[in-house]
């Protein structure tokens, strides 16, 4: 069955729900049992059945089954945010005295977690250049437990050679994880490329409507019980209404991603020709670091990319541009139906790689608006930018 078809049917069973197409929402904390024997039996394997509301409900199980189908995984775990998925997955495999490797282009809250919480627990983090490939072997220590990747990288969009990294990791029996949110688990199959765990902020494209806080951890049967038990012990769980909304979102994911991809490519191509733009950071473009890897490993692109403006533009000029945008409001997150744009400066967030560009940077999310309207809004924005 093709993925597009599978996503429409995974995680729902109309026969079990009176013929109702969509699985119902179960709001539950307490789950009762008719006998001591039934309670004890459920408690023998609480990660699989319905034992307590925080552990799972039929709603979360249905969503997790759909995510596993999307990612090509055996199982999936839903938690309350993308960051919770990242932190819970990492914590399940480290203890005091351990060491992990993290891409220098990771989502900044991931790095902040490593620099504060993990450091406080006595876990050392080494950041690596996202273009390192198989040379990551030189950074492995005897106590290295996890290699955490993100491809393309947040904000700057370097594409990593995931197969090269995971091959080294397997040789050293190290767990590999990827933040797979940009590809939405749809344009990149983490498991086909050697990853052990694929993480997403389902807040983004899976939810698709800017109204869900949710994270997912996709993984194999061999790791599921370990990670599920750990995140349960941390008190992590996903709200039933968010799981329900994300189930609805995942059904239309392929159709929505197609529009985001088309609009993103058209906007990036137009921006590349504008004199105000020094560089477009989009994996589908030849001058983006790792473009050849992108062509080899990815089946498409989402609507998120960045641009570097010419060096001479001041912060005041950039603010003038952004303050007047009509269809590109400023807001963190992305993956909803609407377009967004934020300014950023990657220099202060680099540990193992340098950022040479001097010009201001903007990250854009291409929503589902008419692309001509988006271009017109950007054109007016550049007029304000040039006026300073």
The residues annotated with a catalytic role in the active site are 54, 107, 179, 204
Asked if 382 and 267 count as a contact pair (C-beta separation under 8 A), the reply is no
Could you report how far apart the first and last alpha carbons of the chain are, in Å? 54
3-state secondary structure 75-137: EEEEECCHHHHHHHHHHCCCCCCCEEEEECCCCHHHHHHHHHHHHHCCCEEEEECCCCHHHHH
Q: Is the peptide bond before 152 cis (omega within 30 degrees of 0)?
A: yes
d(CA 136, CA 147): 9
* 102: β partners: 127, 148
The CA-based angle 75-76-82, given to 5 degrees, is: 160
b/e 195-234 (16+ beta carbons within 10 angstroms → b): bbbbbbbbbbbbbbebebbbbbbbbeeebbeebbebbbee
Contact 290, 161 (CB under 8 A): yes
CA distance 157 to 143: 29
109 is written with which tokens? Answer: 């809250």
């Amino acid at each position: 069955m093709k993925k597009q078809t599978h996503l429409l049917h995974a995680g729902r069973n109309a026969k079990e729900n009176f013929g109702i197409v969509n699985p119902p929402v179960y709001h539950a904390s307490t789950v009762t049992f008719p006998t001591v024997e039934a309670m004890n039996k459920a408690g023998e394997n609480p990660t699989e059945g319905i034992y307590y509301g925080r552990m799972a409900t039929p709603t979360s199980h249905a969503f997790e089954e759909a995510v596993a189908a999307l990612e090509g995984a055996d199982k999936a775990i839903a938690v309350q945010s993308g960051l919770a998925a990242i932190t819970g997955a990492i914590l399940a495999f480290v203890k005091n005295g351990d060491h992990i490797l993290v891409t220098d282009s990771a989502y900044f809250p991931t790095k902040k977690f490593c620099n504060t919480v993990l450091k406080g627990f006595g876990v050392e983090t080494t950041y690596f250049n996202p273009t390192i490939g198989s040379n990551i072997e030189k950074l492995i220590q005897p106590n290295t437990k996890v290699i955490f990747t993100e491809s393309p990288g947040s904000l700057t969009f370097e594409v990593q050679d995931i197969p090269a990294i995971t091959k080294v990791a397997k040789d050293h029996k190290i767990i590999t994880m990827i933040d797979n949110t940009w590809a939405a688990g749809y344009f990149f199959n983490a498991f086909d490329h050697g990853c052990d765990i694929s993480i997403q902020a389902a807040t983004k494209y899976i939810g698709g409507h800017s109204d869900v806080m949710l994270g997912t951890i996709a993984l194999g049967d061999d790791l599921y019980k370990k990670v599920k038990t750990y995140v349960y012990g941390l008190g992590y769980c996903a709200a039933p209404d968010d799981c329900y909304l994300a189930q609805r979102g995942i059904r239309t994911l392929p159709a929505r991603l197609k529009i985001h991809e088309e609009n993103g490519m058209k906007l990036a191509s137009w921006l590349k020709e504008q004199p105000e733009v020094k560089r477009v950071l989009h994996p589908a473009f030849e001058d983006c670091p790792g473009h050849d890897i992108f062509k080899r490993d990815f089946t498409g692109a989402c609507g998120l990319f960045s641009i570097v403006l010419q060096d001479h533009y001041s912060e005041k000029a950039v603010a003038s541009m952004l303050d007047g945008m009509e269809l590109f409001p400023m807001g963190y997150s992305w993956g909803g139906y609407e377009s967004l744009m934020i300014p950023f400066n990657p220099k202060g967030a680099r540990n193992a790689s340098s950022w040479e560009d001097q010009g201001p940077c903007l990250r854009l999310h291409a929503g589902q608006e008419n692309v001509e309207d988006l271009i017109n809004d950007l054109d007016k924005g550049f007029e304000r930018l040039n006026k300073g």
